[in-house]
């Protein structure tokens, strides 16, 4: 079958059922299909993949392509926010062209960009967060540590995967976020700078975070000794079995499966960052402080995304004020 330009393909219930009955692990299917295991995670979650992977999966599982695969949305369909960003960029370039008298006017002024729907961030409340932490107890060590550290720090996924031991100040209980770890099919796992200049930051974390990291460092040292000369010293907090940087998608795929086994809301890995920021705002921590810790360029970004938490803090403030006023004796 010839691929349609820009179209991805997703598994039907029949293909997913066939995979579950096959006894194959995701890694085994990935090896057979000659792709990364995270691509198989996407496939069995019903997300779009390339046509080659879709065809390979059908062949391996013995399912006709027409019954095992259906076309998904265009792989490169842009979100309204992205289109708005491109519109502003092109408009800025053309404004400069007008200033230089290269063109008489800016044609983007006649183009109305799409309206961006603002979505409330998904997060866990305090009780759900405690439940999540308890459920982690029997999970693989590194995954446990990563999830707990997400909640304690509120960093982005790429920032967490990019942390190195030299970024950890155990003495002063601080971490420095200055790089991210990313993945692209054509480049593999690679390191780049943070999302924005304001994302470079040094933040203080609670003692639990550093106790967690001390235990994790001991665990990693045992891994390094066991690997011997095969160990690659990347200095990353979170690494693969041979010491190379962990694939950012691996924790995402694992967390999706983990959360689906619980009665908790079906949140994503990024929701752990939302949970951290929401809990801080709801506790009355100043917006500017939370915005800095989150690595946002402007406090307006924080207030727009986390308006629900700000409303909660505002309600608490009103209750405190009510208590103070009502306790004052009447003249």
Q: What is the pLDDT of residues 142-154, one digit of tens each?
A: 999 999 999 999 9
Q: Where are the beta strands (DSSP E) in the chain?
A: 7-11, 69-74, 168-169, 174-177, 180-184, 188-192, 201-204
CB atoms within 10 A of CB 282: 20
Q: What is the pLDDT of residues 217-250, one digit of tens each?
A: 999 999 999 999 999 999 999 999 999 999 998 9
pTM of structure: 0.70
- What does the pLDDT read at residue 2? 39
CB atoms within 10 A of CB 132: 20
> Which of 27-41, 78-92, 180-194, 234-248 shows the highest mean pLDDT?
234-248
Dist. CA 256–CA 179, nearest whole Å: 25
Task: Name all contacts of 224-230 with Cβ < 8 Å and 24+ positions apart.
Answer: none
Q: What is the pLDDT of residues 82-139, one digit of tens each?
A: 788 888 899 999 999 999 999 999 998 888 877 766 666 789 999 999 999 999 999 9
Q: Does 179 have pLDDT greater than 50? A: yes
∠ CA 124-39-12, nearest 5°, is: 85
Domains of the chain: 7-74 (1.10.260.40), 83-110 (no CATH), 126-262 (1.10.443.10), 278-327 (no CATH)
In this predicted model, which residue has the larger pLDDT, 31 or 191? 191
Structure tokens at 51: 């046509």
């Amino acid at each position: 079958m010839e691929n349609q330009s820009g179209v991805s393909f997703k598994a039907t219930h029949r293909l997913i059922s066939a995979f579950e009955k096959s006894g194959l692990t995701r890694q085994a299917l990935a090896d057979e299909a000659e792709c990364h295991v995270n691509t198989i995670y996407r496939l069995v979650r019903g997300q779009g993949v390339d046509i080659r992977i879709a065809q390979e999966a059908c062949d391996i599982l013995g399912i006709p392509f027409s019954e095992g695969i259906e076309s998904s949305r265009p792989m490169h369909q842009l979100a309204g926010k992205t289109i708005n960003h491109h519109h502003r960029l092109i408009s800025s370039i053309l404004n400069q062209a007008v200033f230089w008298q290269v063109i008489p006017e800016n044609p983007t002024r006649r183009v109305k960009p799409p309206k961006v729907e603002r979505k409330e961030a998904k997060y866990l409340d305090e009780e759900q967060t405690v439940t999540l932490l308890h459920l982690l107890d029997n999970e693989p060590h590194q995954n446990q540590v990563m999830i707990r550290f997400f909640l304690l720090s509120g960093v982005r996924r790429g920032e967490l995967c990019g942390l190195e031991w030299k970024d950890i100040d155990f003495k002063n209980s601080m971490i420095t976020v200055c790089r991210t770890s990313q993945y692209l099919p054509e480049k593999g796992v690679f390191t780049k700078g943070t999302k924005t200049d304001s994302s470079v930051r040094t933040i203080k974390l609670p003692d639990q975070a550093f106790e967690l990291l001390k235990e994790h460092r001991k665990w990693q040292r045992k891994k390094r000794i066991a690997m011997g000369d095969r160990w690659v010293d990347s200095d990353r907090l979170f690494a693969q079995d041979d010491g190379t940087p962990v694939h950012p998608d691996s924790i995402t795929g694992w967390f999706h499966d983990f959360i689906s086994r619980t009665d908790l809301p079906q949140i994503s890995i990024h929701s752990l960052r939302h949970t951290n920021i929401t809990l801080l705002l709801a506790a009355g921590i100043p917006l500017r402080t939370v915005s800095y810790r989150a690595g946002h360029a402007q406090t307006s970004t924080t207030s727009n995304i986390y308006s629900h938490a700000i409303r909660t803090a505002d309600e608490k403030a009103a209750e405190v004020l009510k208590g103070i006023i009502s306790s004052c004796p009447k003249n």
